[in-house]
Copies of this chain bind each other. A is one copy, B any other.
Amino acid sequence: MPKRSFAMAKNKMHTSAHRHYEDDNEWGCGSWLEYTLVVVLSSVLLLGSLGLTLFWVIQYRGGFAWREDPKRQFNLHPVLMVAGFITFSGFSVLLYRICRCCRRIYVKLLHTVFHALAIPCVALGFLSVLDSHNLAQPPIPNFYSLHSWIGLVTMGLFAIQFVVGFFSFLILLCCEGATAGFRAALVPIHASFGLTTFVLAIAASVTGLTEKALFTLGDAYPEWREEGIVINALGISFIALAILVSFAVRSNNLKSDFKVTVVERM
């Protein structure tokens, strides 16, 4: 009965194509609640912290400028670094937990795109702080503080992760079979160093906020002015993000089904 066997084959293909959805259905109510809570909270914090940084520099620090006004050029630094290292990178990391129904190759491409978007942010953010230091009268020295040391380590790790990730998980797909073992072994290392980079970025942010609060508010910082509270709230939201993103990445409940991961690992 060729007609029946064709129908069976079609049905099998259909089942295979929708395996993700079926796996999803195996999730209990608790897992869905955890998923929704983590996705909503982390999205709110990732976008909210960028929004709060923008509000802070526009409302209290006079907004943005380029080289004609080095003091206001500095304001690009926190906004662009938060956008690149926290908002884009955070979403990029969380994609592996948020996108449960897409094919893994699309998630990987989106992961690359988000990280690629972070690169110009980080580069411009770095340039803006260098310019604002070097063009100031008198010039402000670079790379002497703990914040700058942590920031440099973070940028180095980010660059290594991007290059290694791009070549290993996308370029090496050209010889898929031969590199499968190598790529599979690299996944947990890439994930660990990715989370490390994110947490380092948070450490750089809280030290940077502390520096900025003392430099600009100085003796007014203990007076509980609005700007001081905004800066502290920003720091606390970064800390909450470090906890939440680490939790999301490590949670077994939020992991995609292992079999699907193995079948579709690129």
The answer for the CA separation of A239 and B196 in the assembled complex, in Å, is 10
How far apart are A197's CB and chain B's nearest CB, in angstroms?
10
- Is the pair A224, B147 in contact by a Cβ cutoff of 8 Å? no
**Is the CB–CB distance between A222 and B150 below 8 Å?**
no
| A102 surroundings in chain B (CB, below 8 A) | none
Q: Which residues of B contact A179 (CB under 8 A)?
A: none
Contacts of A200 in B (CB 8 A): 239
A interface size (C-beta, 8 A): 38
Bound-complex Cα distance A235 to B207 (A):
10
Report chain B residues within 8 Å CB of A207.
206-207, 210, 235
Q: Which residues of B contact A149 (CB under 8 A)?
A: 232, 235-236
Q: A141-B222, A206-B207, A215-B214 are in contact. Are A192 and B146 (CB under 8 A)?
A: no
Q: A239-B200, A242-B199, A247-B192 are in contact. Are A210 and B144 (CB under 8 A)?
A: no
Residues of the B chain whose Cβ atoms lie less than 8 Å from the Cβ of A196: 243, 246
